[in-house]
Amino acid sequence: MIPLDQLLRGEKAQIETIETDKLPLKLIEMGCLPGNSIALIQKAPFNDPLYLKIDESHLAIRKETAKNIFVRLIE
Amino acid sequence: MSTPVKIALLGNPNTGKTSVFNALTGLSQKVGNYPGITVEKKEGICKLNHNTKGLLIDLPGTYSLNASSIDESVVIELLLNKKSKDFPDVAVVVTDVENLKRNLLLFTQVKDLEIPTLLVINMADQMKRKGISLDLPLLEQTLDTKIVLISTRENRGLEELKKTILDYRQLSTSPTIAINSIDEKYFKDLEKTFPNQSLYKLWLVITQDVNFAKIDRKRVSDATDFKTQPASYLKRMQQKETIKRYQFINNVLKQGLTINREAAIDLRSRLDRVLIHKVWGYAIFFIVLLTIFQAIFHWSSIPQDIIDSGFVSLSERLKNNLPEGVFTNLLTEGIISGLGGIVIFIPQIAFLFLFISILEESGYMSRVVFLMDRGLRRFGLNGKSVIPLISGTACAIPAVMATRNIENWKERLITILVTPFTTCSARLPVYSILIALVIPEGSFFGLNYKGLMLMGLYLLGFGMALLAAWVLSKTLSITSKSYFVVEMPNYKLPLLKNVGITVWEKTRTFVTEAGKIILAISILLWILASYGPGKDFNNAEQIVRQNHPELNANALEIKTNAYKLENSYIGILGKSIEPIIAPLGYDWKIGIALISSFAAREVFVGTLATIYSVESDNEDTIKNKMGSELRADGTPLFNLASGISLMLFYAFAMQCMSTLAIVKKETNSWKWPMVQLFGMSILAYIVALSTYQILA
């Protein structure tokens, strides 16, 4: 299990746990929930923000937020 | 006529909710504000059938009923307040067929409020290309509602939507999930305390300010006292609620929706590969910026020249045809030139909003925000601050309005406060004449000094905006949750109708809102310049004739006008501030120009033209006159030191009443416009003072 900000570009993973208190509810409501799939599509220069596909949503979040999401790589 | 049906339009951002609103109402819409806050309230009327009208209210886009911004809290407050005159008879939730799962979250929440709710699935034209098929009868049954499939792009489904809205009384109002299943004990207690009330409504009232600390508005009901649990516990329950809702939605979609991914053609990844590339992404953004600048400064100069000469000839014609008198002078010199000062900005503002709305509609703007966030964050700004900073080069007024989509209040406030530092188009005429006057000929590596100076002033504007933002971010103690979640929407070809309505709406707002103020100030300036106390003003012609008996009629009139101005109220004002501005290298005449610049900076040139009593506004004549103006010791008034000092003063000072008025409106307080007025003007004074003292 690794924090989301360590995921590499193009890698696919599954969300294992999230630090509910440190995440905006909006992100959770957009599908950032344990069990859902997650993929890193692109990183902006200086590796921040991150462009992700979470479940079926495409969104960008800052690295500091991504540290509170823990994922497990798929294959 | 039967009573109109009140319809609330809800939906996630980027679902085409506003397209549905535009398609239903056309231009019969009105944009106002919710009382006390700056959230836009869009209402419109649509004919549902030959004798029933619908009153549509386009609520701000929201991902859920758990508000995280003041815009979103408007939605919840309306839906919870049955007594509001806007409380809807029917809620229409607009969804995008490609993001149905996430969009349905909001649908289940709205439906659980026991308001008749119908579901609109938009962008049906995309289904085939994306390989999506829906089993509508099954979905209607499992979601317990009516579903209308529409395409605003192809104008399909709108008639059916109107029919379904008319039959709103047949819509079911039973909730989709049992809210008490997320915590049996908690909800049992709640039910005991507030019997016979909808549990979900109570739950929303209790949690509505958990995630968003600063909703200053009054609470909807008294259930907020029921906080037997800490905020983090409530948030965990909200997470549980979200999971429950997604379980329900997943079950519904498992049978009702099939996606054949083979059939999908992915435009997104192909465009993203270029548009947010770490080299090409910035290069393309740079080209887009250049195009916008080109449009604002070059293309719009053609209609602007036409407008300018139109107003001049209108004023001339009225002057020649109306009987002479105070009223005619007020009309031709005060009101018409004031109106001209507003109308002249319409081409620039329209171009600016044309580009901005195309960039937003197409989905490109989110990519720019993504590219720029990291860099701007260093200065306490947000990726979304890019739009206002670009817009500011045309005019700070629309730029301040463009900060509305920054969710983080602190970052939004800083953006509003620093935007007026960017070089707006009103500074351009001031810079051009001063540069022509004081910057010597010559070049540096093939770039001439004058061009370099102008470029330097633009860069200085941006640089100061960033520096001020950095200082503000370190000093303002506003706690606002730093969060940044940006949806990266699909790329879309912008809808002409949406772009057109945006350009029309924004331009109209500018003309009416800012126009009122500019007009009032031009009239005031005219009065101050046309009247004066005492006999020096009233007997100006006699006095001038006595002192200069050698002058012919024409020269006498010019000299008289100058003498009148010197002794008018505004002239006296200019003289009274002379001691303050003398250390900067300015005399009382420049003082008058500084004061009148508060209406609009470009008034500077026109005021000096009147003061130096030149007959025409032709810039060369004014320039020559300014160039030959001497100080008491015989040196030129405009030299390198005073010229640069003046340019820097214009670069930094807050001299625009209209901007102050719009900042007051957007921040809902006089505090922030006053911070700008004094902060920027003091900065300008200090910089101009030290520049003059060093260079002189």
Phi and psi at B121, nearest 5°, equal -105, 110
Residues of B in contact with A25 (CB under 8 A): 64, 66, 68, 211, 235, 238-239, 242
Q: In angstroms, rounded to a whole number, what is the distance separating the alpha carbons of residues B641 and B477?
A: 39
Q: What angle do CA B388, B37, B471 make, to 5 degrees?
A: 45
pTM for the full predicted model:
0.81
| Confidence band for B517, pLDDT divided at 50, 70 and 90 | low
Contact B488 A20 (CB under 8 A): no
Contact B235 A59 (CB under 8 A): no
Mean pLDDT of the region B125-150: 92
B93 and B11 Cβ atoms separated by less than 8 Å: yes
Residue predicted with more confidence, B353 or B306: B306
**What count of residues does chain A have?**
75
Terminal alpha carbon distance of chain B? 77
Residue B618 pLDDT more than 60? no
Output the CA–CA distances (angstroms, integers) from residue B444 to A50, A66, B320, B440, in the order listed: 43, 49, 51, 12
**Considering the domain boundaries, does residue A5 fall inside one?**
yes
Strand partners, B95: B121
CB of A56 less than 8 A from some CB of B: yes
Minimal C-alpha gap between B384 and chain A (Å): 12
Nearest to B232 among A21, A30, A58 (CB): A21
Q: What is the pLDDT of residue B170?
A: 92
Q: In angstroms, rounded to a whole number, what is the distance separating the alpha carbons of residues B239 and B223?
A: 21
| Confidence band for B559, pLDDT divided at 50, 70 and 90 | confident
B35 and B118 Cβ atoms separated by less than 8 Å: no
pLDDT tens profile B64-77: 998 877 778 889 88
B600 and B341 Cβ atoms separated by less than 8 Å: yes
Neighbours of B410 (CB within 10 A): 19
**Considering the domain boundaries, does residue A12 fall inside one?**
yes
Name the burial class of residue B573, with classes exposed (0-12), middle (13-18) and buried (19+) by CB atoms within 10 angstroms of its CB: middle
Residue predicted with more confidence, B34 or B326: B326
Token pair 């070809």: residue: B493
Pick from B128, B121, B166: which is nearest to B12 by CA?
Answer: B121
Among B63, B182, B239, most A C-beta atoms within 10 A, so best to mutate, is B239
Q: Give me B179's structure tokens.
A: 């809210």
Residues of B in contact with A60 (CB under 8 A): 366, 369-370, 373, 484-486, 488
Q: In angstroms, rounded to a whole number, what is the distance separating the alpha carbons of residues B148 and B162?
A: 10
**Considering the domain boundaries, does residue A46 fall inside one?**
no
Residues of A in contact with B232 (CB under 8 A): 20-21
Angle B569-581/B553-567 helices, nearest 10 degrees? 60
Contact B105 A49 (CB under 8 A): no
Q: In angstroms, rounded to a whole number, what is the distance separating the alpha carbons of residues B530 and B537?
A: 9
CA B311, B316, B321, B325 dihedral sign is positive
Taking every pair of Cα atoms in chain B, the longest distance, rounded to a whole number of angstroms, is 101
Name the residue range of residue A30's domain: 1-19+26-38+66-75
**Considering the domain boundaries, does residue A45 fall inside one?**
no
Terminal alpha carbon distance of chain A? 13
Q: Give me A42's structure tokens.
A: 């692109």
CB of A59 less than 8 A from some CB of B: yes
The interface predicted TM-score (ipTM) is 0.95
Of the candidate ranges B25-39, B42-56, B134-148, the one whose mean pLDDT is the lowest: B25-39
Contact A26 B272 (CB under 8 A): no
CB of A21 less than 8 A from some CB of B: yes
**Considering the domain boundaries, does residue A74 fall inside one?**
yes
Nearest to A44 among B63, B269, B373 (CB): B373
Contact A30 B101 (CB under 8 A): no
pLDDT tens profile B213-241: 344 444 444 455 565 678 888 889 999 99
Q: In angstroms, rounded to a whole number, what is the distance separating the alpha carbons of residues B399 and B420?
A: 9
Q: What is the pLDDT of residue B481?
A: 65
pLDDT tens profile B382-411: 898 998 998 888 788 878 877 877 877 889
pLDDT tens profile B574-586: 899 999 999 999 9
Pick from B164, B516, B502, B563: which is nearest to B362 by CA?
Answer: B502
Output the CA–CA distances (angstroms, integers) from residue B603 to B429, B608, B609, B656, B677, in the order listed: 9, 9, 10, 11, 19
**Considering the domain boundaries, does residue A60 fall inside one?**
no
Q: Please tell me which residue of chain B has the smallest CA distance to A48.
A: B374
Helix (H), strand (E) at residue B37? none
Nearest to A59 among B101, B276, B485 (CB): B485
Q: What is the pLDDT of residue B690?
A: 96
Pick from B180, B207, B14, B222: which is nearest to B98 by CA?
Answer: B14
**CB contact residues (below 8 A), chain B span 73-102, against chain A:** 99, 101-102
Q: In angstroms, rounded to a whole number, what is the distance separating the alpha carbons of residues B83 and B310?
A: 52
User: What is the average pLDDT value for chain B, to the nearest integer?
Assistant: 85
Minimal C-alpha gap between A27 and chain B (Å): 7
Q: In angstroms, rounded to a whole number, what is the distance separating the alpha carbons of residues B328 and B323?
A: 7
Helix (H), strand (E) at residue A17? strand A12-18
- What chain B holds in terms of domains, given with CATH numbers, is 1-264 (3.40.50.300), 497-695 (no CATH)
B517 and B661 Cβ atoms separated by less than 8 Å: yes
Q: In angstroms, rounded to a whole number, what is the distance separating the alpha carbons of residues B94 and B88?
A: 15
Name the burial class of residue B182, with classes exposed (0-12), middle (13-18) and buried (19+) by CB atoms within 10 angstroms of its CB: buried
B116 and B92 Cβ atoms separated by less than 8 Å: no
Q: What is the DSSP letter of B36?
A: T
Contact B276 A27 (CB under 8 A): no
**Considering the domain boundaries, does residue A8 fall inside one?**
yes
E strands in B174-283:
257-259
Strand partners, B52: B49
Name the burial class of residue B599, with classes exposed (0-12), middle (13-18) and buried (19+) by CB atoms within 10 angstroms of its CB: buried
Q: Give me B299's structure tokens.
A: 């293309």
pLDDT tens profile A11-31: 999 999 999 888 888 899 999
Nearest to B485 among A26, A46, A48 (CB): A26
Compute CA B545 distance to the chain's CA centroid, rounded to the nearest angstrom.
Answer: 53
DSSP B552-589: -HHHHHHHHHHHHHHHSHHHHHHHHHHHHHGGGT--HH
Residues of A in contact with B68 (CB under 8 A): 24-26
Q: Say which residues have a Cβ less than 8 Å from residue B79's Cβ, sequence separation at least 6.
A: B8, B65, B87, B88, B91, B110, B113, B115
CB of B259 less than 8 A from some CB of A: no
Question: How many distinct structural domains can be found in chain A?
Answer: 1
pLDDT tens profile B169-217: 999 999 999 998 999 988 998 888 888 888 999 898 888 764 443 444 4
pLDDT tens profile B300-318: 888 988 988 888 888 888 8
Contact A29 B366 (CB under 8 A): no
Contact A30 B370 (CB under 8 A): no
Minimal C-alpha gap between A10 and chain B (Å): 12
Minimal C-alpha gap between A33 and chain B (Å): 8
Phi and psi at B48, nearest 5°, equal -85, -45
Q: In angstroms, rounded to a whole number, what is the distance separating the alpha carbons of residues B6 and B90?
A: 7
Minimal C-alpha gap between B115 and chain A (Å): 22
Q: Please tell me which residue of chain B has the smallest CA distance to A34.
A: B243
Residue B628 pLDDT more than 60? yes
Pick from A54, A55, A45, A50: which is nearest to A67 by CA?
Answer: A50
Contact A49 B101 (CB under 8 A): no
Q: Say which residues have a Cβ less than 8 Å from residue B55's Cβ, sequence separation at least 6.
A: B4, B5, B6, B7, B43, B44, B45
Mean pLDDT of the region B29-42: 72
Q: What is the pLDDT of residue B224?
A: 52
Mean pLDDT of the region A57-75: 92
**What count of residues does chain B have?**
696
**Considering the domain boundaries, does residue A59 fall inside one?**
no
